[in-house]
Structure 1
Amino acid sequence: MSVRNLCIAVAAASATFLGGSVAAQAQPAPIEAYAAMPAIESVSVSPDGSTLAYIRRSPDGDTVVAQARTGEALVTIDISDRVARGVFWASPDHVVIQSTVQEKLAYTTTVQDYVQLDIVNVRTRRVARALRSADRGILTASFGPATVGTYRGQPVLYLRTITVEKNAYTYDVYRVDLDDGRGRLHQTGAEDTSSYVIRPDGEILARTTYNSTSGSWRLLARRGGNWTELLSRRSLLDRPAILGFGRSDETVLLSEDREDGPVLVEISLADGSEVMQHDNIGADSIVRDGAGHMVGIARQGLTRSYSLFDPVHQANWDRLVQGLAGRELFLTDGDDDLSVMVFRAEGAGEPGSVYLFDAERQSVNLIGREYPGLAAADVAEVSAIRYQAEDGLDLIAYLTKPTGREARNLPLIVLPHGGPAARDEAGFDWWAQALAARGYAVLQPQFRGSEGLGVPLLEAGYGEWGRKMQSDLADGVKYLADAGMIDPSRVCIVGASYGGYAALAGMTIDEDVYRCAVSVAGISDLTEFLTVERRQGGRSRFNEGLRYWQRFMGVTSESDPSLAERSPAQLVSRIKGPVLLIHGRDDTVVPFEQSTIMERAMRRAGKDVELVALDGEDHYLTFPATRRRMLTETIEFLEAHNPPR
């Protein structure tokens, strides 16, 4: 069973408390307890439900562990030499370790993230690198989804990737041997092939094509040896997506935006007709069984819920929710028929624990705690609040209040999320909790342009980068100040990625709202950022990433003069308080130069600025030492310039 990401509409829910009150504590937990990477992560159960695999982190190093559910250790693999992102089972005997590595492109200084898949035979303890050898030359940076399956009765992995041959590129499927990692060409695509739908036995039933120049998208089904077009659309940015099979392998699941809103519909592979349209309100991910069939939908409103099609599965899940009342539950994996489920719990004094549910025994067992250095008292109360933007738009935000302090005249940290098409969720947020533990209230606004809270809210952000997307944050501050909950003279703003831009914009566009700011990997010069994006990704009509940024910024060219009007590096004369810049030198999403540009501009203007460079760090605060340094520098800066008491 797997849970695939899907981002579509969600209806606004009423405000509610999401975390329980905990007893006051005299001394907060150390910063490193919050900044630590989860001690256990990516827990996966084998297809037959008998064995577990997971990433384990400790001071002695990171490992991948495979063990029987009885506790018997099968194999332990040292992964301290790579950045492991997750593990999954390819057969009852094989675990795949997903990692990323960074390498410089030939003849350039550009650093590229590459996917690395290592296959571990838990019985023989041999490790093979997937596609280390293959029938043709491939681009490992282009690995697409993996399908666990068989070929002539033997377990294999079907991997999508780009083949390079005589300067021609095709998106193909390779059949990977689980014991030696060799890839054999299974299906040749075309230059415009963009995805495949593959049965576990290796039969490819459908594929999609996309032309980035014309925006032409097509869904094709295989008829004998030929491909027959079922659907076609034209879209330069919001193209439809095939999310695998529907409830059987006779249908595929289509997600697309239509004039009357987004839809989630099963399409017949026989004739392209719509077989069933699913309720997509709040849909966040798809739950699948071992054959890849859709067996449920995960929904994320203010809190997470699951709609499982089998009434027995739904009854089991409902009992888990009732038994762990007050916590957010996340279904993360299961065996082939969902009789064994792995799930996470957060909230109500719970920083994160992983459990195993056995339907036959009706038992729940703790697998491990993600943050063993944190106690229940170290997790502050979180609530969802509603407020209105100045133009009347209804918004929600998550508010984390410091434990043991009355919600009156508190110092506030505004913590906007990245993206911008992203969102915060209920549950444990290590960054917000670390700040609350130091005595700050923390506000996480779901500003216009946020994803997963309804298409109207997302689309309201188009063209509002540095405009209403920014003022939505200040309107949240005003709401709390009017309610007497926070002291408006003690407000700072902190964020990463787009949130880092918002922090810098807070000091330059809303300069009277915030007394200080911390920008982690933030964009400071919009013109330069788009110029680099165009240079690396190609012309705008080919470059979907560039079109994404242009949509939110409301421009069609990096020469648009409005970009300078919203670029913090061009507005440093307005800054009244200190700014801390933190950036990983190996960031491949927002170049490190974006922070050096801001630092130079502020120093020339005689402003108070400091730049902390994180050597070896990427965009995602992947490494424990640099993540800990980021949080330590941030808290020390805030305590110096906005004391919590």
Structure 2
Amino acid sequence: MPHASHTFARSLSTASIPVILLQAVRVIRAAAYSMQGDYQVTSTASDVPLIPRADLFGNPERTDVEISPDGRFLSWLAPVNGVLNVWVAPLDDLSLARAVTNDTNRGLRFHLWTYDGHIVYLQDVEGNEDFHVHVVDLDAGTCRNLTPFENVTVSIERVSRTIRDRILVGMNRRDPKFFDLYTLNLATGELVLVEENPGFAGFIVDQHYRPHFATRLASDGSQEVLRRNADGSWDEWMRFAPEETRTSGPGHLSADGSALFVLDSRGRNTTAMTRIDLASGTTEVVAADSRADLFDFIMDSETFEPLAYRLNLERSTYVAIDQKIQTDVDFLNGAGLGEWRLHGDTEDNRLWLIDAISDLRPGTTYLYDRQSRSLRVLFEHRPVLSAAPLAPMHPVVIRSRDGFDLVSYLTRPNGVQQPGPLVLLVHGGPWARDIFGFEPEHQWLANRGYSVLSVNFRSSMGFGKRFVNAGDGEWGRRMDDDLLDAVAWAVESGIADPSRVAIMGISYGGYAVLASMTRNPEMYACGVAIVGPSNLETLLASVPPYWESFRKEFVRAIGDPSTEEGRALLRERSPVHRAGRICRPLLIGQGANDPRVKRAESDQMVDAMKANGIPVTYVLYPDEGHGFARPENNISFYAITEAFLERHLGGRAEPMRQDEWDGSTAQILEGAALLDLPARREG
């Protein structure tokens, strides 16, 4: 999801952000080494040394840095015995850092401070996405699971600066389909029902955790915004047409409750931020840009008024709305930080945490003092890569066959000028987008001798409602055409050898791999599909119950199983029914506990290929979900992929070490003989 001011994130409900923007965040690790001592060159490599996989895909040294509201403490995620945990230290003496959690399994991915000095985080079990709220009491030295309910998912909806001893959570304990609102007392664990959810997608609440607005999708796909009446009933107050639901929705209330801020694409192509005066109904545009949707804002910590927005075209930059922040934005824009964003701040808004990356720098967190206009480096997330031979990323705009501009990102191996092998990386979602910056997969593949191209195909977010809606009904067709057009551009530009192009992706990107290799069986030399749907009928039938409130969005995008026409479309666009057309090598990766794209999706595809006598390599991780979180599993899959690509594209590879293999839970269910891997040591 887009970052906002940390105060804003603590204060406002995640339900105020369109659900399709919520993206899972992968956290990756690294081990320290010196360039001179540990880089290797294989006999088939160029003069550029190999970057070890562990440095790109292992745990970072530190990440997800947060600051306490009073500015006294910093916290961050860092490994404890190889597993990411929360560490805390006084801001004025980071040498006193200590771990305050002790997870020993998949590691933590997220944490935040409450205004009364607690740390809370969400954790599931082996990727099942049944998240529970855990609290760390620094004074007592305890860590507790406050929602230990089986088969229940909990979300943190709001952390208020007004009611400090409780947070607001959403929980689907009563009805698996919908999230009721509760206050959760962090000291006692007491849950108090605030609002029973009759079927809404989400609520807009004030600082006292009182719901004022709610949203739901109507039967025609439009988004209804309902307003709370004095008697507690709900009436429709605003409606967004179906074509606006992915780019519009209520955002948040002003601190005094007099205004509602709305992300709004009505009457325009791109999403603007508008302010509606609730007494008069007057609407004013706070910020808009005809070139891109605006989703990422810096908010005033007292009033919740937008102060600046992040404009993300091929590159991103902050634009000030209010003069009170203009000097800060100008200073940070001119500080040479690369792509920066405000990650957190103190309650008095004096100290800001700034995260900055570039294509050649994995990430640095700075402390910015607004009073003294000074920057202090806190942590480099992956200092191990400071001397690595990273390759620059180039934004390119590719024209689709029907006239769309496809904002894309190209990384080429250092020193390579001639056409060579290319890996097309397809993002998930599909309602997400690729951005400029440090991308470990780009660096890994470029280092192994492949050019890498990421394409914001139609349905990608951020480029206006016409572009995102152009993918409806076009899974496996015009969305695939955009990928084909990008490959054609790379060939025509002298970048790609047409006989040595691979396609790789996760989630929707995994579907794109399967769809492309069945639709265009001779187009790609090989493919890598990670947790990719193969059967759109079973995908829709098996989505988690709590997706019910926005299931209509998926139906509109891929086909309606309740109609004969929709069922025909779903079947036509399902790669499993055309598995017999595949004629090039395919590698499939799957987490056994994935609640979104269940294991059955990969099993079906593998079975269909076997039934047609087509070889396939299938890797299953029994302790993973929608993607691979444990560093050992992540590294092992990239090692397997590297060996696969070396065989079929002719790049180079770092040999897989025995400890990489033994440390993972990878089960190669099919095609082990097709890979040159160490023998598995059991026990």
What TM-score do the two structures reach when normalised by structure 1?
0.85
Q: Residue 72 of structure 2 aligns to which amino acid in structure 1?
A: S
Q: Deviations over 1:481-512 (max 9, x none)?
A: 11112211111111111111111222221223
Q: Following the alignment from structure 1 to structure 2, what is the Cα–Cα distance between the partners of residues 629 and 171?
A: 37
- Which of 211, 214, 236 does residue 208 from structure 1 map onto? 214
2:480 matched to 1:470?
yes
Could you tell me which residue of structure 2 aligns to residue 114 of structure 1? 130
Q: Following the alignment from structure 2 to structure 1, what is the Cα–Cα distance between the partners of residues 585 and 447?
A: 23
Could you tell me which residue of structure 2 aligns to residue 579 of structure 1? 586
Query: Which secondary structure state, in structure 2, belongs to the residue aligned with residue 580 of structure 1?
Result: strand
Query: Which secondary structure state, in structure 2, belongs to the residue aligned with residue 503 of structure 1?
Result: helix
Could you tell me which residue of structure 2 aligns to residue 2 of structure 1? 8
Is the contact between residue 276 and residue 283 of structure 2 (CA under 8 Å) also seen in structure 1?
A: yes
1:514–1:57 Cα change, 3 Å: same
Is the contact between residue 255 and residue 302 of structure 2 (CA under 8 Å) also seen in structure 1?
A: no
Could you tell me which residue of structure 2 aligns to residue 232 of structure 1? 238
Query: Which secondary structure state, in structure 2, belongs to the residue aligned with residue 232 of structure 1?
Result: strand
Query: Which secondary structure state, in structure 2, belongs to the residue aligned with residue 637 of structure 1?
Result: helix
Q: Following the alignment from structure 1 to structure 2, what is the Cα–Cα distance between the partners of residues 392 and 373?
A: 43
Could you tell me which residue of structure 1 aligns to residue 556 of structure 2? 551
1:245–1:339 Cα change, 3 Å: same
Q: Following the alignment from structure 2 to structure 1, what is the Cα–Cα distance between the partners of residues 621 and 177?
A: 36
Is the contact between residue 8 and residue 282 of structure 1 (CA under 8 Å) also seen in structure 2?
A: no
Q: Deviations over 1:92-111 (max 9, x none)?
A: 52111222236xxxxxxxx9
1:80–1:184 Cα change, 3 Å: same
Q: Following the alignment from structure 2 to structure 1, what is the Cα–Cα distance between the partners of residues 170 and 516?
A: 43
Q: Following the alignment from structure 1 to structure 2, what is the Cα–Cα distance between the partners of residues 544 and 99?
A: 23
Could you tell me which residue of structure 2 aligns to residue 129 of structure 1? 145
Q: Following the alignment from structure 1 to structure 2, what is the Cα–Cα distance between the partners of residues 563 and 155?
A: 49
Could you tell me which residue of structure 1 aligns to residue 112 of structure 2? 88
Could you tell me which residue of structure 1 aligns to residue 24 of structure 2? none
1:345-360 matched pairs, under 5 angstroms: 345-360=356-371
Could you tell me which residue of structure 2 aligns to residue 180 of structure 1? 188
Is the contact between residue 526 and residue 566 of structure 1 (CA under 8 Å) also seen in structure 2?
A: yes
1:597–1:57 Cα change, 3 Å: same
423-432 vs 246-255, which deviates more? 246-255
Is the contact between residue 265 and residue 277 of structure 1 (CA under 8 Å) also seen in structure 2?
A: yes
Could you tell me which residue of structure 2 aligns to residue 143 of structure 1? 155
Q: Deviations over 1:462-482 (max 9, x none)?
A: 111110100111111111111
1:169–1:270 Cα change, 3 Å: farther
1:247–1:510 Cα change, 3 Å: farther
- Which of 140, 155, 162 does residue 165 from structure 2 map onto? 155
2:640 matched to 1:633?
yes
Q: Following the alignment from structure 2 to structure 1, what is the Cα–Cα distance between the partners of residues 200 and 503?
A: 44
Is the contact between residue 7 and residue 284 of structure 1 (CA under 8 Å) also seen in structure 2?
A: no
Q: Following the alignment from structure 2 to structure 1, what is the Cα–Cα distance between the partners of residues 422 and 54?
A: 22
Tell me the matched-pair count: 608
1:138–1:617 Cα change, 3 Å: closer
CA drift of 1:307 comes to 2.9
Q: Residue 123 of structure 1 aligns to which amino acid in structure 2?
A: D
Q: Residue 400 of structure 1 aligns to which amino acid in structure 2?
A: T
Could you tell me which residue of structure 2 aligns to residue 380 of structure 1? 391
CA drift of 1:82 comes to 5.8
Q: Deviations over 1:45-96 (max 9, x none)?
A: 1112222112112544322112211124366221234652311111252111
Q: Following the alignment from structure 1 to structure 2, what is the Cα–Cα distance between the partners of residues 420 and 514?
A: 21
2:582 matched to 1:566?
no
CA drift of 1:433 comes to 1.6
Is the contact between residue 129 and residue 180 of structure 1 (CA under 8 Å) also seen in structure 2?
A: no
CA drift of 1:334 comes to 1.2
Higher strand share: 1
Q: Following the alignment from structure 1 to structure 2, what is the Cα–Cα distance between the partners of residues 570 and 526?
A: 11
Q: Residue 474 of structure 2 aligns to which amino acid in structure 1?
A: E
1:308–1:58 Cα change, 3 Å: farther
1:259-298 matched pairs, under 5 angstroms: 259-261=267-269, 262-279=271-288, 281-291=292-302, 293-295=304-306, 296-298=308-310
Query: Which secondary structure state, in structure 1, belongs to the residue aligned with residue 114 of structure 2?
Result: strand
Is the contact between residue 531 and residue 627 of structure 2 (CA under 8 Å) also seen in structure 1?
A: no
- Which of 324, 341, 345 does residue 336 from structure 2 map onto? 324
- Which of 439, 444, 447 does residue 429 from structure 1 map onto? 439
Q: Following the alignment from structure 2 to structure 1, what is the Cα–Cα distance between the partners of residues 19 and 588?
A: 33
Q: Following the alignment from structure 1 to structure 2, what is the Cα–Cα distance between the partners of residues 209 and 550?
A: 18
Q: Following the alignment from structure 1 to structure 2, what is the Cα–Cα distance between the partners of residues 513 and 209?
A: 44
1:9–1:131 Cα change, 3 Å: closer
CA drift of 1:616 comes to 0.6
Query: Which secondary structure state, in structure 2, belongs to the residue aligned with residue 352 of structure 1?
Result: strand
- Which of 624, 631, 636 does residue 617 from structure 1 map onto? 624
Could you tell me which residue of structure 1 aligns to residue 610 of structure 2? 603
Could you tell me which residue of structure 2 aligns to residue 45 of structure 1? 67
CA drift of 1:418 comes to 0.9
Q: Following the alignment from structure 2 to structure 1, what is the Cα–Cα distance between the partners of residues 595 and 369?
A: 42
- Paired-residue identity, %: 25
1:274–1:219 Cα change, 3 Å: farther
Q: Residue 429 of structure 1 aligns to which amino acid in structure 2?
A: E
CA drift of 1:8 comes to 12
Q: Following the alignment from structure 1 to structure 2, what is the Cα–Cα distance between the partners of residues 614 and 169?
A: 27
Is the contact between residue 226 and residue 238 of structure 2 (CA under 8 Å) also seen in structure 1?
A: yes
Query: Which secondary structure state, in structure 2, belongs to the residue aligned with residue 527 of structure 1?
Result: helix
Residue segments in structure 2 that go unaligned for 5+ positions in a row: 1-6, 22-34, 36-45, 653-683
Query: Which secondary structure state, in structure 2, belongs to the residue aligned with residue 329 of structure 1?
Result: strand
Is the contact between residue 212 and residue 236 of structure 1 (CA under 8 Å) also seen in structure 2?
A: no
Q: Following the alignment from structure 1 to structure 2, what is the Cα–Cα distance between the partners of residues 168 and 37?
A: 34
CA drift of 1:429 comes to 1.2
Q: Residue 403 of structure 1 aligns to which amino acid in structure 2?
A: N
Is the contact between residue 64 and residue 79 of structure 1 (CA under 8 Å) also seen in structure 2?
A: no
CA drift of 1:584 comes to 0.9
Query: Which secondary structure state, in structure 1, belongs to the residue aligned with residue 334 of structure 2?
Result: helix
What TM-score do the two structures reach when normalised by structure 2?
0.81
Q: Residue 584 of structure 2 aligns to which amino acid in structure 1?
A: G
Query: Which secondary structure state, in structure 2, belongs to the residue aligned with residue 86 of structure 1?
Result: coil
Q: Residue 113 of structure 2 aligns to which amino acid in structure 1?
A: W
Q: Following the alignment from structure 2 to structure 1, what is the Cα–Cα distance between the partners of residues 195 and 495?
A: 61
Q: Following the alignment from structure 1 to structure 2, what is the Cα–Cα distance between the partners of residues 467 and 88?
A: 42
1:174–1:150 Cα change, 3 Å: farther
Is the contact between residue 350 and residue 369 of structure 2 (CA under 8 Å) also seen in structure 1?
A: yes
Query: Which secondary structure state, in structure 2, belongs to the residue aligned with residue 373 of structure 1?
Result: helix
Q: Following the alignment from structure 1 to structure 2, what is the Cα–Cα distance between the partners of residues 9 and 527?
A: 20
Is the contact between residue 153 and residue 173 of structure 2 (CA under 8 Å) also seen in structure 1?
A: no
Is the contact between residue 534 and residue 602 of structure 2 (CA under 8 Å) also seen in structure 1?
A: yes
